[in-house]
Amino acid sequence: MKTVRVAVVGAGVVGVSTAVCIAEALPLCSVTLIADRFSPDTTSDGAAGILFAAEFPDVPIATQRRWFRSSFRHLLAIAQSEEAPEAGVTLSSGWQIFKELPETPKPFWWDLVIGFRAMTSGELRRFPGHACGQFFTTLKCECRSYLPWLQRRFRGAGGRVERRRVGSLQELGGDFDLLVNCSGLGSRALLGDMQVEPVRGQVLQVEAPWLQHFIRDGDGKTYIYPGVRSVTIGGTRQAGDWRLGEDQTDTEGIVERCRRLEPSLSRAKVLGCWVGLRPGRRNPRVEKELLQLGGRRVPVVHNYGHGGWGVTLAWGTAVDAVELVRQSLQETPPRSKL
């Protein structure tokens, strides 16, 4: 019998992953996923969804590797199953190229992806002005398919879904024994966490089915990611910028920079433009606390602030969040329930 009432706030890739992990790992919990926006209207839905990550400054590398490894294994198993087309998860190979030698010759996850190697001089000739590069195979997880697929899996594990805006965690304290906060950028208003700030990202979807490999400039500003139905080209990283509309100058810059990397894009039709606000934070917050909510002490587990790497790290941090839920329930068993 389910005896612990858990609310997960947020239905982007972090919230849905966390809700699934709790519902499947802790059968004592009845899990309700609460959000004001669901797929296809979350930030996660517009992300290119490439599994790739930059380093967070204060999180031990061993932890970041565990997050990456866990997500990669989870998504690789989907990519190699009959569920792959419905879940929108595919293998994706390509080049990351650098104009100057990077400070760290290899990213922390180099051995967690497949076939990571330095590019040959022959390969580099395609990219004038670039000094070196890396070729590897990673995964691409398209959240417009993946989130509905994951939500079905959540319902299959007994999870419930509720659409509403949560004004403050106080609202939930009376109805739930434990809260999990996966509200991304929403944590700024929900908790008053001013460390989370928007990092605006604009991308274009183009029709270029002849492109099979991704190309990413190592400075992180320019990328070309072939997907199932279209190619995502980008981008921008504008910290503190809340604008959700298309910026024409950004569009022109993206087209110009991406054509320089891949001249055949001059023949590609532009299908659309998308802007999202990354939940930027110096480090993601994956931790627990006890809050006094409406006269009760309620354990709250936080899992937000993944910046530009939420699709990559969601499953890994969700697994850690489940462990924090387990610990919280041992430390503060719901009164009259256990």
Contact between 235 and ligand FAD by CB under 6 A: the answer reads yes
Compare residues 133 and 235 and give the one whose CB is closer to ligand FAD. Answer: 235
Residue 192: both structure tokens together: 């008053």
236 is in an annotated binding site: no
At residue 55, the 3 state secondary structure works out as coil
Selection from 39, 249, 283 nearest residue 147 by Cα: 39
Q: Which does 216 bind (CB under 5 to 8 A by kind): ligand AKG, ligand FAD, none?
A: ligand AKG
Written as six digits, the tokens of 274 are 């998308």
Q: Residue 41 CB: number of other CB atoms within 10 A?
A: 13
223 is in an annotated binding site: yes
- Check the annotation: does 309 bind a ligand: yes
Binding-residue pattern over the window 13 to 52 for ligand AKG, x denoting contact by CB under 6 A: -----------------------------------x-x-x
Whether residue 168 is annotated as binding a ligand: the answer is: no
Query: Looking only at residues 20 through 59 of this chain, which bind ligand FAD when binding is defined by CB under 6 A?
Result: 35-37, 42-44, 47-50
Question: From residue 89 to residue 128, what is the string marking binding to ligand AKG with x (rule CB under 6 A)?
Answer: ----------------------------------------
Q: How far is the C-alpha of 26 from the C-alpha of 233, rounded, in Å?
A: 40
Compute the distance between CA of residue 160 and CA of residue 163 in angstroms, rounded to an integer.
Answer: 10
166 annotated to bind ligand:
yes
Q: What are the start-end ranges of the E strands in the chain?
A: 4-9, 29-35, 89-98, 114-118, 132-141, 160-163, 178-181, 197-207, 214-217, 223-226, 231-234, 238-239, 269-280, 285-293, 296-304
Q: Among 29, 150, 298, 311, indicate the residue that binds ligand FAD (CB under 6 A).
A: 311
C-alpha Rg value of the chain to the nearest Å: 20
Residue numbers at the binding site for ligand AKG (CB under 6 A): 48, 50, 52, 201, 216, 220, 223, 234-235, 278, 308
Residue numbers at the binding site for ligand FAD (CB under 6 A): 9-15, 35-37, 42-44, 47-50, 165-166, 182-186, 190, 201, 203, 234-235, 276, 278-279, 304, 306-312
